[in-house]
Structure 1
Amino acid sequence: MELLQMNLAELFRTETPVLELVLRASILYLGILFLLRIVPRRTGGELATIDLLFVVLIAEAATHSFGGYSSITEGFIVILTLMVLNYIINLLSYYSPFIEKLISYPPLLVVRDGKLLRRNMRREFLTEEELMEFLRREGIEDVKDVKAAHVEADGHISFITKKGSS
């Protein structure tokens, strides 16, 4: 019968000070945002860096609220902190080009007038074979038909073809 007894107050009681939880979540959020900003943009896949960070941290906080933290309340405090930080960073990046530059990659040119820009490709660890695969997916047969190709902030490659080409 003891298995069915539970103390709801214990489930929601916090052992860690709220300010400490907020500070830990904030430092973790900003630290991982910085680290993700210095890795190649194709590492994040289809999500923008800030979105990837948000999803990873929310999942981590939710996992801890099931057992790593001493209460559900602590997990919710961390999740709420992450949500507020994500909202503030998105808001600031919308109104401030400087903040936007800090958290988002600018497009990186990898093909100009049908010529591969190997130095830029190296920065993204983009091989010629991978680039050709992306070209084929877009229905472009030859790199010479490409006026410009950019690796976008979310890791996708966008192509602008020359006039009169496919």
Structure 2
Amino acid sequence: MDFFTSPDWSGIFMFSVPPLEIVARGSLMYWCIFVLLRVAGRRDIGSLGVADMLVLVLIADAAQNGMAGEYTSVADGVILVGVIVGWTVLIDRVVYSIPALSKALSLNHICLVRDGALIRSNLRREAITEEELMGELRQQGIDRLALVRRAYIEADGNISVLRAERTAGKR
């Protein structure tokens, strides 16, 4: 097609794939990736939450396909982006409205240190070595476990620390 030739406007806005198929494919891919990211754990995710990263990746891909013409229709891409955003909003609403489902659909913080003692089973589960944890603690100005009341790995992969309260005669 020459630059000055008019595009096929009807092909841009007509569906090239049945909308129900797009909804089914988008939903299936969303849930497959969601489950895989949950199983992979939070440590390698970085500062983005699992759902945040999933939405960014899927929307980018869905939008790219719609813009590049792989679907051959903008309408196909719009439906897929709507499906992805819809699942994200629905999960957020369900977790907020039904706290019992929070454990299954969202990540919670996990305690790594309690009253100066490592919880080794949780370190193993999250694949964090004692050296890595101590490095994180040093970045927060803590050089001994005894100074930690609680340390948690948060849903976004960051480690938060609650310092032990100093007693009257100790430093």
TM over 0.5: yes
Q: CA deviation at 1:4?
A: 2.1
- Report the equivalent of 1:164: 166
Superposed CA deviations along residues 49-87 of structure 1, whole A, max 9, x for unmatched, are: 111111111111112112321211111110011111111
User: d(CA) in 2 for partners of 1:78 and 1:4?
Assistant: 31
Matches within 5 A, 1:38-117: 38-65=39-66, 66-117=68-119
Q: CA deviation at 1:145?
A: 0.7
Superposed CA deviations along residues 23-63 of structure 1, whole A, max 9, x for unmatched, are: 11111112211111112211221112111111111111112
User: d(CA) in 2 for partners of 1:110 and 1:121?
Assistant: 6
User: d(CA) in 1 for partners of 2:142 and 2:2?
Assistant: 68
Structure showing the higher helix proportion among its residues: 1
Q: CA deviation at 1:99?
A: 2.4
Give unmatched runs, 5+ long, in structure 1.
none
Give unmatched runs, 5+ long, in structure 2.
none
Letter of the 1:27 counterpart: L
Superposed CA deviations along residues 102-161 of structure 1, whole A, max 9, x for unmatched, are: 121222111112122222111111112211121111111212211111111111111111
User: d(CA) in 2 for partners of 1:67 and 1:42?
Assistant: 36
Question: What is the identity percentage for the equivalent residue pairs of Structure 1 and Structure 2?
Answer: 38
- Report the equivalent of 1:126: 128
| Count of aligned pairs between the two proteins | 166
User: d(CA) in 2 for partners of 1:7 and 1:143?
Assistant: 67
Provide closer, same or farther for how the CA distance between residues 150 and 73 of structure 1 changes in structure 2, counting only shifts above 3 A.
same
Secondary structure, aligned partner of 2:3? helix
RMSD (Å) for aligned C-alpha atoms: 1.7
- Report the equivalent of 2:3: 3
- Report the equivalent of 2:37: 36
Q: Retained in 2: the 8 A contact 1:33–1:103?
A: no
TM (normalized to structure 2)?
0.89
